[in-house]
Amino acid sequence: MKILITGGAGFIGSNFVHYWLEKHPEDKITVLDKLTYAGNLENLEPVKDKISFIKVDICDEEAVEKAINGIDTIVHFAAESHVDRSITGPDEFIRTNILGTHVLLKAALKNGIKKFHHVSTDEVFGQIPLESNEQWTETSPYNPRSPYAASKAASDHLVRAYFTTYGLPITITNCSNNFGPYHFPEKFIPLAITNILEGKKIPLYKPGNQVRDWLHVKDHCRAIDLVLQGGKAGETYLVGSQHKEYTNLDVAKMICAFLGVSEDMMEFVGDRPGHDVKYAIDASKIKNELGWQPEFEFEQWLKATVDWYKQNQVWWKRIKSGEYQEYYQQQYSKK
């Protein structure tokens, strides 16, 4: 397989590159990434000699066309992904997540790509009331509530339209919140861990009762692998862990306990506008049709994630100081 991974220098994309090289070492991987603030080539440092990397914006039609030449499979992670940033500056979300996805789809169609897998989010479905036991399925109606979720919803519709209208062999996964290594420390779990390690408090959006369906990033990578191997063209698969429900307050308390600090290290901050209270996924379709099961139990792997951040302080300190952005210049200016 000759596989193009967009957004492969980000959190999930880089985990996917590591995963894929381990499982399918015979395949040729090209990572295409614009290296926005969220893209960090240091995530790919351990495997840099086994992949090709190109610094390209998915909105750049000419560069995307060139990159796709000789590729048979695209796994599309590249996106603006932080809800808070979409509230303060939605334009870049519309540009990358909608227009960028469209540029890729056009190029994929023109070049006869055999598989186009689009990575999306459960946030397209909106929110579930806290007291409800509802879980989303592949037929749940779309009801996005943030500019991020709306831009991902639009991209999902475009991807499906390219299947229906032009027969492009697409698949989509909508998954719940991921956690694990290489998670950019502006997101809740890595921010909480790294703040404590720096002696700072964990900022928690009031009232801390928001429920997320935390999925370990390796379980997500395996789900995408199964969809690429056995998924049906045109189909969507929802991926969620269905562990017991944890509020953000529960998660912050666990992180304090793992790091041996008092719960006084948590502080409430003003809530995010339109903050979704709860997400929950029914992953029966991918379980029944493709045999996927989440393997990474939340509390055990949250502890492992805390340990990873303890052991990789250089990695996240270079992000927090901004130094990681010099890495591309150092590595690639020589070439």
Which amino acids are annotated catalytic?
122-123, 148
Residues 110-139 as x/- pattern, contact with ligand NAD by CB under 6 A: ---------x-x------------------
Which range, of 20-28, 44-52, 76-84, 132-140, touches ligand NAD by CB under 6 A?
A: 76-84
**Residue in 135, 178, 195, 236 binding ligand NAD, rule: CB under 6 A:** 178
11-30: which residues touch ligand NAD (CB under 6 A)? 11-13
Per CB under 6 A, 78 contacts ligand NAD: yes
Q: What are phi and psi of 28, to 5 degrees?
A: -100, 125
Residue 214: closest CA among 131, 151, 328, 297:
297
Per CB under 6 A, 144 contacts ligand NAD: no
* Both tokens assigned to 81: 């992904």
User: Can you tell me the distance from the alpha carbon of 76 to that of 96, in angstroms, rounded to the nearest whole number?
Assistant: 12
Per CB under 6 A, 266 contacts ligand NAD: no
Helix (H) / strand (E) containing 28: strand 28-33
User: Can you tell me the distance from the alpha carbon of 27 to that of 298, in angstroms, rounded to the nearest whole number?
Assistant: 31
Which range, of 32-40, 247-255, 267-275, 314-322, touches ligand NAD by CB under 6 A?
A: 32-40
Which range, of 36-44, 109-117, 162-170, 288-296, touches ligand NAD by CB under 6 A?
A: 36-44
Per CB under 6 A, 236 contacts ligand NAD: no
How far, CA to CA in Å, does 279 sit from each of 125, 129, 143, 332? 9, 9, 12, 41
Nearer to ligand NAD, 63 or 204 (CB): 63
User: Which contacts qualify for 57-61: CB closer than 8 Å, 24 or more apart?
Assistant: 57/100, 58/6, 58/32, 58/34, 58/96, 58/100, 58/101, 58/103, 58/104, 59/95, 59/96, 59/99, 59/100, 59/103, 60/103, 61/103, 61/106, 61/107
Nearer to ligand NAD, 59 or 249 (CB): 59
Per CB under 6 A, 227 contacts ligand NAD: no
Beta partners for 199? none
Cβ 107 to ligand NAD, closest distance in Å?
Answer: 13
Nearer to ligand NAD, 142 or 201 (CB): 142
272-331: which residues touch ligand NAD (CB under 6 A)? none
* Both tokens assigned to 273: 């506008």
Cβ 75 to ligand NAD, closest distance in Å?
Answer: 10
Which range, of 46-54, 173-181, 294-302, 327-335, touches ligand NAD by CB under 6 A?
A: 173-181
In angstroms, how far is CA 295 from the centroid of its own chain?
18
Q: What are phi and psi of 5, to 5 degrees?
A: -110, 110
Q: Judge contact between 58 and 28, C-beta under 8 A.
A: no
Cβ 199 to ligand NAD, closest distance in Å?
Answer: 26
Per CB under 6 A, 39 contacts ligand NAD: yes
Q: What's the angle, vertex CA 108, arms to CA 111 and CA 35, rounded to 5?
A: 120
Which range, of 51-59, 105-113, 255-263, 294-302, touches ligand NAD by CB under 6 A?
A: 51-59
Per CB under 6 A, 33 contacts ligand NAD: yes
Nearer to ligand NAD, 175 or 256 (CB): 175
**Residue in 29, 41, 59, 191 binding ligand NAD, rule: CB under 6 A:** 59
Q: How many residues does the chain have?
A: 335
Residue 12: closest CA among 289, 218, 151:
218
Per CB under 6 A, 156 contacts ligand NAD: no
Q: Which residues bind ligand NAD (CB under 6 A)?
A: 6-7, 9-13, 33-36, 38-39, 57-59, 77-81, 96, 100, 119, 121, 152, 175, 177-178, 184
